[in-house]
Amino acid sequence: MIKNTDRWDLDTVAQDIIRGHKLTDDDLRELLSLTEEEDIEKLHYVARKVRDHFFSNRVFLYSFVYFSTHCRNNCAFCYYNRCNDIERYRLDMDEIRSIARAVKNENIHMVDLTMGEDPYFHNDPERFVDVVRAVKEETGLPIMISPGVMDDETLTRLHENGANFLALYQETHDKDLYQKLRVGQSFNERNHAREFAKNIGYCVEDGILTGVGNDIASTIKSLRGMEKGQPDMVRVMTFVPQEGTPLEKVDQESSLSELKIISVLRLMFPDRLIPASLDLEGIDGMVHRLNAGANVVTSIISSDSSLEGVVNYDRELEERDRDSRSVIKRLRTMGMEPASQAEFNRIIEKQPVKPVRIPVAAL
């Protein structure tokens, strides 16, 4: 559908997708197998066309607040897994409030409150409810929570107290691979929490890792698995080997496969949120991800913050360059603009995305 296809036909492919055409497994296999730069560029072109139809040049921005790096789990890929002997922190309420106040002035659409599965909060979930309530009070912004797996009752309490979005990445929908990645954790419980959250009114995000033992068949399984849950946001991140973890010595893949998958996600989920994470390759990497069809920038952290990212491409760098001002400046050089808060709130309120009409002359 992409190879041996000229520009006019590519526009037709984009129009088909916009009109609701669904990709078959053969299509997915073909797209994920592309290796020639020219073909991959065509795929990105179609993905951008589809994205621009629904979102024009508008981008959403999420601030990332990793408020506790303690964790009871043992994910093979994660720097913060309980077996890794690293320095950890847990912010207290005053620190959280002061960060929330700072975020308010940063021109972002949502705050992402992330933690490891910290027993301090998981054994006494009302503590986390208090955090959500405080951040809502300070910012008035939509709140994403990324707390790991929480039970139905807690998810309900959190929703009632201001949490709008649940980010909970399955990493893979291939059960065998899942057991190797999320060692000792239940596949079904993780899926259930996302499903339950969606049913009670949250927006939800699912996500997969690539470069972590997934071949094309396994990636297709994951894409179909995500499709089943009809998430509001879908992500793919390249696995970055982390010091002190079981997968430390695995070779890191280039971002090529992630960029292809971002485009494929755009064709499968035309009007959904798809992030370009700054955590992997910073602002330069953001440009490639937006050019592949993403429409959200995540992991924005103010330049004076000492909080962690999840992967931290900038762990060794002296200067951090992933604050909202630098992001917006770069977006503008690409002809893109931050969306308005009202546009984002419509998504949070689950109103259908109104397509932006493409003038015939631009096709």
Residues that bind ligand SF4 (CB under 6 A): 71, 73, 75, 78, 80-81, 116-117, 148
Nearer residue to ligand SF4 within complex by CB, 73 or 107: 73
DSSP-assigned letter for residue 299: E
The tokens of 121 are what? Answer: 């909060």
55 binds, among ligand MD0, ligand SF4, ligand SAM, none (CB under 5 to 8 A by kind): none
Please choose, from the candidates 359, 232, 247, 355, the residue with its C-alpha nearest in 3D space to the C-alpha of residue 311: 247
- Under the criterion CB under 6 A, does residue 170 sit at the interface with ligand MD0? no
Q: Is residue 3 within 8 Å of residue 33, measured between CB atoms?
A: no
Strand pairing partners for 298? 277
The C-alpha atoms of residue 363 and residue 360 are separated, in whole angstroms, by: 5
Q: What is the full DSSP assignment across 146-192? A: E-S---HHHHHHHHHTTEEEEE---B-S-HHHHHHHSTT--HHHHHH
299 binds ligand MD0 (CB under 6 A): yes
Q: Which of 50, 297 has the CB closer to ligand SAM? A: 297
Of 255 and 298, which has the nearer Cβ to ligand MD0? 298
Does 311 engage in binding with ligand SAM (CB under 6 A)? yes
Residues 197-216 that bind ligand SAM (CB under 6 A): 207, 209
Q: Tell me the DSSP string of 12-28.
A: HHHHHHHTT----HHHH
- Residue 310 contacts ligand MD0 per CB under 6 A: yes
153 burial (CB, 10 Å; 0-12 / 13-18 / 19+) is: exposed
* Nearer residue to ligand SAM within complex by CB, 209 or 261: 209
Would you tell me the crossing angle of helices 25-32 and 216-229 to the nearest 10 degrees?
130
Q: Which residue has the tokens 């039970």?
A: 151
- Closest distance between ligand MD0 and the C-beta of residue 310, in Å? 4
Sorted by sequence, the CB contacts under 8 Å of residue 13 that are 6+ apart come out as: 1, 2, 5, 46
Please, which residue, 170 or 277, has the CB nearer to ligand MD0?
Answer: 277
Closest to ligand MD0 by CB, 43 vs 204, is 204
Cα(108)–Cα(60) distance, rounded to whole angstroms? Answer: 8
User: Taking CB under 6 A as the rule, which mask of x and - marks residues 89-128 in contact with ligand MD0?
Assistant: -----------------------x-x--------------
| Closer to ligand SAM by Cβ: residue 52 or 308 | 308
Q: Which residue in the set 146, 222, 305, 324 belongs to the binding site for ligand MD0 (CB under 6 A)?
A: 146
Give me 246's structure tokens.
């079981």
Number of residues that bind ligand SAM (CB under 6 A): 18
The single-letter code of the amino acid at 148 is: G
* Only segment of 85-93, 238-246, 257-265, 345-353 that touches ligand SAM (CB under 6 A): 238-246
Q: How far is 324 from 304, CA to CA, in rounded Å?
A: 12
Could you tell me which residues are beta bridge partners of residue 209? Answer: 237
Residue nearer to ligand SF4 on the CB measure, 194 or 266 = 194
Q: How far is the CB of 254 from ligand SAM (least distance, A)?
A: 14
Q: Does residue number 146 form part of the binding site for ligand SAM (CB under 6 A)? A: yes
Q: Which does 103 bind (CB under 5 to 8 A by kind): ligand SAM, ligand MD0, ligand SF4, none?
A: none
Where along the sequence are the contacts to ligand MD0 (CB under 6 A)? 64, 112, 114, 146, 167, 275, 277, 279, 298-299, 309-310
